[in-house]
Structure 1
């Protein structure tokens, strides 16, 4: 395999920096889901931690490095999960954290960012506008700009998930990874292809936010004018060239799924695994639902990457009766 920007030795070293509360998340076979999917399904549960997403693996690295070199401030753009994670990691190390987000982001995510002590600035636009504003703030204030997926810490933090998958010594035929900015796919894909190269790395993106998948298929950056998906955590329009280069090296396939399949995946995870997840976390299940023949008889693992969801919206999507009182 050609070299990505990541280094497996650095990924192993990252485990010594990340707060153990974010490491060794549950991995288990979910037999109850298997009749409906036609394959063996294992779940890597990245929501079983204080910020309910995988993002803190990366922000732990960033915050540790900043605190170690005497930096006191950092700014990022976030759809919600990165902001929460950076706020959590920064608070633990005395950093001044500013998060820029769309005012249309999930309210529960924004409330949690504030509760964790970060300064929250909202923009009247989408995530790409938030990225522009965060970059402008960092330049003006002369502080560190954390760019998700571009900054290696975010990818190598996520890559520790790949180490945990490989180190179980289980044999997976495919790993299904939500694809947005690319940190999760780049990180996990790098480790899996380095240490378990026969495992298929399959990235999954909503058809309503297809920029990175179109870019992977075209082998060049393809942007979109807008996004239209409930999976806000992966709704980017401008792929980062360096990240695309990595994904081209580690991904065996990139697929697009429909909104109805995402909702069906969320419902399956609730009904058969007892999990309330955000739409991005159901992308792997959605991919199996849309192509059962491809995965028939195989053992797939899907990374449940986040559970920060607005419950009113969740009830609308999944059905109020089944989540009454959640």
Structure 2
């Protein structure tokens, strides 16, 4: 059973192993609320997961440790288990979905774990891990649906109230629910008036749908770049705790999460993975009633693959109106590009690419299509440029 005493014991056990991550004030993230960031992206292994994994493994019997441990994960829990097992001197085997970022897979191996890649998502990796557990007699370290794991994650709730006693609300990413279950339990025991909100992506909304329906509702498929929270089915223990202690769950789009990643890089100098940024996305895009409140957004992890990061930045720039693309059909004659460029420049846009195409099959022989890439300030500036171009007689596709 999860108790507040168990969470305090976890905090004591974890003290020599994990980092008490800072809470950073982030005034640029919202004009309506006072936003603070709990920087678990700067935790040992780059994620909160080491808390629950280490506490669970520390409580194994000598016989269980001798047989080793097994886990399944999209990456962050894998690294937590691998490090915890190494510090306890025991063998670990991790089943990881083959679509997980390469950086997470390699990091898991670097902590000394054996890794087996499994075709599919988290749930397929989980099934394979259960199969190997029965075959080899290892102890299964569940990524979220375990009281000891949840207690380890709940230590974040203790730290938040210690670091910012006047916290009004905490926003937490949700995958299987272990993180928010632990944080919500700890906070509601100590500060029942403090709101605890959860966030999922629209492409992986299993806990949101279950919470609203008051019964577990798995989804058949998940689709999101936030791989750390791409879980098809809520846990039994976590769903029960979330139903009792969480106030509301909302969703954000992948584009909104990408915008939050970009915002954290640009204004906070922090790297967060997609799953780690969804709490910030919920605050940025007004998904919750936060006006005038002291709000802590949990940045759950920072282990984003650099190849994905470049794409996320591009999507974030598009979403925030920092870049834009225009397609303009024209009569092919001298001066057209100069006129368009002057309009854009006059309004402060910066042309960064031009593609001139005369090969459109359905256009007139004497016509062409110009595709222009621009750097802009925001969506309002883009709208001003589009209006000026149409007022000048240009058609925008």
Q: Give secondary structure in 2 for the equivalent of 1:275.
A: coil
Tell me how large the CA RMSD over aligned residues is: 1.8
Q: Given the alignment of the two structures, is residue 32 of structure 1 paired with residue 24 of structure 2, yes or no?
A: no
In structure 1, stretches of 5+ residues that fail to align are none
Q: Given the alignment of the two structures, is residue 133 of structure 1 paired with residue 128 of structure 2, yes or no?
A: yes
Contact residue 15 and residue 23 of structure 1 kept, 8 A: no
Q: Given the alignment of the two structures, is residue 123 of structure 1 paired with residue 123 of structure 2, yes or no?
A: no
TM-score, normalised by the number of residues in structure 2 = 0.76
Q: Give secondary structure in 1 for the equivalent of 2:231.
A: coil
Q: Which residue in 2 is equivalent to 1:17?
A: 13
CA deviation string 1:61-84 (max 9, x = no partner):
122122655523000010100000
* 1:21 positional shift: 4.4
- Runs of 4+ displaced beyond 3 Å: 67-70, 319-322
Q: Which residue in 2 is equivalent to 1:199?
A: 194
Q: Which residue in 2 is equivalent to 1:261?
A: 256
Cα distance in 2 for partners of 1:68, 1:238 equals 32
Higher relative contact order (CA 8 A, sep 6+): 1
Q: Give secondary structure in 2 for the equivalent of 1:51.
A: helix
Cα distance in 1 for partners of 2:278, 2:164 equals 25
CA 1:172 to 1:62, structure 2 compared with 1: closer, same or farther past 3 Å? same
* 1:33 positional shift: 2.8
CA deviation string 1:87-122 (max 9, x = no partner):
011111111100001111111000111111100001
Q: Which residue in 2 is equivalent to 1:52?
A: 46
Q: Given the alignment of the two structures, is residue 89 of structure 1 paired with residue 79 of structure 2, yes or no?
A: no
* 1:31 positional shift: 2.2
Cα distance in 2 for partners of 1:90, 1:204 equals 30
Aligned partner (choices 58, 61, 65) of residue 59 of structure 2: 65
Aligned partner (choices 109, 112, 124) of residue 107 of structure 2: 112
Q: Which residue in 1 is equivalent to 2:282?
A: 287
* 1:291 positional shift: 1.7
Cα distance in 2 for partners of 1:169, 1:93 equals 33
Q: Which residue in 1 is equivalent to 2:299?
A: 304
Contact residue 6 and residue 152 of structure 1 kept, 8 A: yes
CA 1:169 to 1:49, structure 2 compared with 1: closer, same or farther past 3 Å? closer
Q: Which residue in 1 is equivalent to 2:247?
A: 252
Cα distance in 1 for partners of 2:246, 2:214 equals 12
Larger radius of gyration: 2
TM-score, normalised by the number of residues in structure 1 = 0.93
Contact residue 211 and residue 222 of structure 1 kept, 8 A: yes
In structure 2, stretches of 5+ residues that fail to align are 318-397
